[in-house]
Amino acid sequence: MKTTKCKKGTLVKKVVLVKWNDISKSTNSELDERASIDSFLGVMETTGVIWKESDDCILLAQEFWNFNGKLSVRDWVVIPKCVVIDITIMGEME
C-alpha cells in the first residue's frame, strides 16, 4: 500500500481511488482444480472520501445526505488495510 508512510488520519476527508483485493469473491460455477487460487481474487477499484480511519481499516464514504445543514454519510464501505493494494489521492473534500 503506497500510503503506509502517511500518519494515521492524514488521509481523512481526501477523495481517493482505492485499489484492493476483494477477499469475499465467490462464484456459482464449478471449481477448476487446475486453476491458480490467486486467479480467484477480485481486484476492486472503489472511489470515495476517506471518512474515518483506524489502525486496521478505512471507511470510504460514497454518498452523503445533507439533512438540515448537517452532512451525514448515506452509503459507505469498510476496507481492511491488509487488502489495500494502492490508494491514489484524487482531491480533497471541501
Q: Which three cell numbers stand for residue 5?
A: 508512510
Cα torsion angle, 68, 69, 72, 75, sign? positive
Cβ count near 23 (within 10 Å) = 11
Domains of the chain in sequence order: 2-25+40-92 (2.30.30.100)
pLDDT of residue 89: 93
pLDDT of residue 81: 94
pLDDT along the chain (94 residues), means of 10: 49 90 74 78 90 92 87 90 94 83
Q: Has this prediction a pTM greater than 0.85?
A: no
What amino acid is encoded at 29 in this protein? S
